[in-house]
């Protein structure tokens, strides 16, 4: 299980990126929402979509859920 977070700030393309603990691109604490602990990033994406309609897995830490 890993802890996942979603960035409160959208990327330039409108995506709110989902990150897991230890990612170099993890947003600062005030700029992220804790989603919970999940086995896969898919579950984290589903949770993140409760907060934002446009979400995407981080290319670096959640590549399996990253779409370009």
Collapsing DSSP to helix, strand or coil, 55 comes out as: strand
Which range binds Zn ion by CB under 5 A, 11-19, 28-36, 39-47, 48-56? 11-19
Rounded Cα–Cα distance for residues 53 and 61 (Å): 21
Instruction: Considering the complex, state which of residue 16 and residue 19 has its C-beta at the smaller distance from Zn ion.
Output: 19
Q: Closest approach of Cβ 45 to Zn ion, in Å?
A: 13
Instruction: Considering the complex, state which of residue 39 and residue 64 has its C-beta at the smaller distance from Zn ion.
Output: 64
Q: Closest approach of Cβ 62 to Zn ion, in Å?
A: 6
Query: Does the footprint of Zn ion cover residue 25 (CB under 5 A)?
Result: yes
Rounded Cα–Cα distance for residues 28 and 25 (Å): 9
Rounded Cα–Cα distance for residues 14 and 61 (Å): 19
């Amino acid at each position: 299980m890993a802890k996942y977070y979603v960035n409160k700030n959208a990327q330039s393309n409108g995506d709110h990126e989902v990150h897991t603990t230890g990612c170099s691109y993890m947003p600062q604490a005030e700029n992220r929402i804790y989603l919970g602990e999940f086995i896969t990033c898919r579950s984290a994406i589903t949770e993140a979509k409760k907060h934002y309609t446009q979400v995407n897995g981080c290319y670096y830490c959640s590549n399996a859920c990253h779409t370009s």
